[in-house]
Amino acid sequence: MIAFHEITAQELYEKLRNIRIGGNVCQYSLKKCEELTLLVNEIQRLKVEKNAVILVHSYANPEIVYGVADFVGDSYKLSRDAINTHAKTIVFVAVRFMGETAKILNPEKEVLIPARDPGCTLADSITADDVNRLRVQYPDHTFICYVNTSVEVKAECDICVTSANVYQIVQKIPNDKIYFLPDKFMGMNLVNEMKRRMIDKTIHFWSGSCYVHEEYTREQIFKVRSEYPDAKIVSHPECNEGVVANSDFVGGTEQMLDYMRKSPAKQFLMLTECGLSSRLQSEFPDKELVGSCTLCKYMKSNSLEDILGALKNPQPRQVVTIPEAIRQRAAKSLEAMFMYAGQGSTSVKKTCE
Ligand code: 13P
Ligand code: SF4
């Protein structure tokens, strides 16, 4: 058996000590890290024993990101990591639609979702029956689904996109009639971005929203700009158009981190889930986080205990199963995404800096 590196409480504490968000949930003392390390090392041992790999979205709790993750990132990066893994089992620490994406791409592997509440207000806003009705209403449109959708919805759509490639892919699609689902804010941002790029497309969109990102307002940005004039405002395309229009940079979560990494600025307001702010505090200690952030209760419903339980003896609700006929049709929309996403970037560098 391959040996695993046993992490010490001090090593874990070094990664978590600067994190100051999320109230009591995400604040770490050396004593707390001593307790967490017992669970972390038990998970690491079982992971090797069971030939498992742990994929973790950046929004998960920091002790998971820095304690047990083999891969951390946004939904696009993790879907690529899921394709490349040789492990027998994938533990996906995120929400249901991300675990389903890993299963669509790896039908022969066991995929586990440890979360107690793996929902998502976007994915839960639309069903396959809704898409079929829309298909009748908009027969000559190309149906683009955001990755935040169920496998059944993906199976009824033509092309899947993520926040990291939505603009780039829609721009490349030959059809000028697009139906985008399920995010109304991302849909509006898509309309605005295509206009800005002078791409002539008729875009209709569904009415879903992310309950985390819809909280952010442009007034919040004005307030932060007046208090911290040098701060860079970085937002996710699930935010509304007023937020996007007043941000310095808009992109998927990995692109937001990359922007920060390369920016000479010292202060940032991150308009996305608090997990990204935690990563900023842990990985960029010389940069300052200003303003506040919002937690996603679904992403935060993953704990080290849940991961350990899933590895030891998964409950039926933690094991992803997909009927083969649906999986194959959903796989086509993901394959189309990988094909279109071949080159280029979707992030928007604002001209206001
Ligand atoms: P990313 O695609 O940026 O990972 O975002 C997924 C998500 O759920 C954002 O709320
Ligand atoms: Fe869904 Fe919003 Fe949570 Fe992302 S942050 S998983 S879009 S509810």
Residue 219 lies in a domain: yes
Long-range contacts of 309-317 (CB under 8 A, 24+ apart): 309/114, 310/91, 310/112, 310/113, 310/114, 311/43, 311/46, 311/47, 311/50, 311/52, 311/89, 311/91, 311/112, 312/46, 314/112
**Cβ count near 12 (within 10 Å):** 23
Q: Tell me: do 206 and 218 sit in the same domain.
A: no
The answer to whether position 64 is within a domain reads: yes
Split at pLDDT 50, 70, 90, the class of 292 is confident
Question: pLDDT digit string (tens) for 147-193?
Answer: 999 999 999 999 999 999 999 999 999 999 999 999 999 999 999 99
Q: Are residues 46 and 112 in the same domain?
A: yes
Please give all residues whose beta carbon lies within 6 A of any atom in ligand 2, as ranges.
95, 120-122, 148, 210-212, 238, 273, 296, 298-299
**Mean of pLDDT over the chain:** 93
Determine, yes or no, domain membership for 164.
Answer: yes
Better pLDDT: 110 or 2 = 110
Whether 3 is covered by a domain: the verdict is no
3-class SS of residue 164:
coil
pLDDT band, very low/low/confident/very high, at 26 (cuts 50, 70, 90)? low
pLDDT band at 343 (very low <50, low <70, confident <90, very high): very low
Q: Which atom of ligand 1 is nearest to the CA of 73?
A: 4
Query: What number is the average pLDDT over the span 67-86?
Result: 93
The answer on 195 and 332 residing in a single domain is: yes
Tokens representing residue 226 in the block: 């007046």
3-class secondary structure, 340: helix
The domain that holds 51 is classified in CATH as: 3.40.50.10800
Nearest to 238 by CA among 72, 98, 123: 123
Strands 89-93 and 142-146: unpaired
pLDDT for 71:
96
Taking the CA of 346 as reference, the closest ligand is: 1
Predicted pLDDT at 352 = 23
Whether 139 and 100 map to the same domain: the answer is no
Q: Is residue 97 situated within a structural domain?
A: yes
- Predicted local confidence at residue 154, as pLDDT: 98
In a domain, 171, yes or no: yes
What confidence tens digit (pLDDT) does each residue in 28-41 have?
999 999 999 999 99
pLDDT category at 22 given cuts 50, 70, 90 is low
Q: Identify which of 75, 98, 121 to mutate to test ligand 2's pocket (most ligand atoms within 8 A of the CB).
A: 121
Q: Are residues 112 and 169 in the same domain?
A: no
Enclosing domain of residue 162: 123-210+323-352
Which run of H or of E encompasses 85?
none
Ligand 1 site, residue 75, Cβ cutoff 6 A: yes
Protein residue with its CA nearest to atom 4 in ligand 1:
74
One domain for residues 75 and 135: no
Q: For residues 206 and 344, state if they share a domain.
A: yes
Question: Which ligand 1 atom sits closest to the C-alpha of 78?
Answer: 4
CA of 210 to the centre of ligand 2 (A): 5
- How much is the average pLDDT of 321-325? 98
Q: In the predicted model, is pLDDT for residue 351 greater than 60?
A: no
Q: Is the pLDDT of residue 345 over 90?
A: no
CB-neighbour burial class of residue 313 (10 A; exposed 0-12, middle 13-18, buried 19+)? exposed
Q: Are 300 and 273 in contact (CB under 8 A)?
A: no
Q: How many domains in the chain?
A: 3
pLDDT bracket for residue 339 (50, 70, 90)? very high
Q: Give 350's pLDDT tier (boundaries 50, 70, 90).
A: very low
Strands 348-349 and 249-250: antiparallel
In a domain, 2, yes or no: no
Give the C-alpha separation, 129 to 149, whole Å.
13
Same domain, 110 and 178: no
- Over residues 215-224, the mean pLDDT reads 97
Q: Which pair of structure tokens corresponds to residue 311?
A: 């590895």
Peptide bond into 182 cis (omega under 30): yes
Task: Work out the average pLDDT over 43-54.
Answer: 96
Q: Are residues 189 and 331 in the same domain?
A: yes
Tell me which H or E stretch contains 208. Answer: none
| Domain annotation covers residue 312 | yes
Task: Please say if the pLDDT value at position 344 is more than 90.
Answer: no
148 Cβ inside 6 Å of ligand 1: yes
Cα–Cα distance measured from residue 183 to residue 206, given in angstroms and rounded to the nearest whole number = 6
Same domain, 154 and 190: yes
Q: Examine the domain organization and report whether 241 and 283 are in the same domain.
A: yes
The pLDDT tens digits of the residues spanning 93-107 come to 999 999 999 999 999
Q: What are the tokens at 218? A: 């442009």
* pLDDT reported for residue 346: 41
- Identify any residues that bridge with 49 across adjacent strands, giving them in sequence order: none
CA of 148 to the centre of ligand 1 (A): 8
Q: Are residues 82 and 113 in the same domain?
A: yes
Question: What are the tens digits of pLDDT across the range 229-260?
Answer: 999 999 999 999 999 999 999 999 999 999 99
Q: Which ligand 2 atom minimizes the distance to the CA of 94?
A: 6
**Model confidence band, residue 61 (pLDDT cutoffs 50, 70, 90):** very high
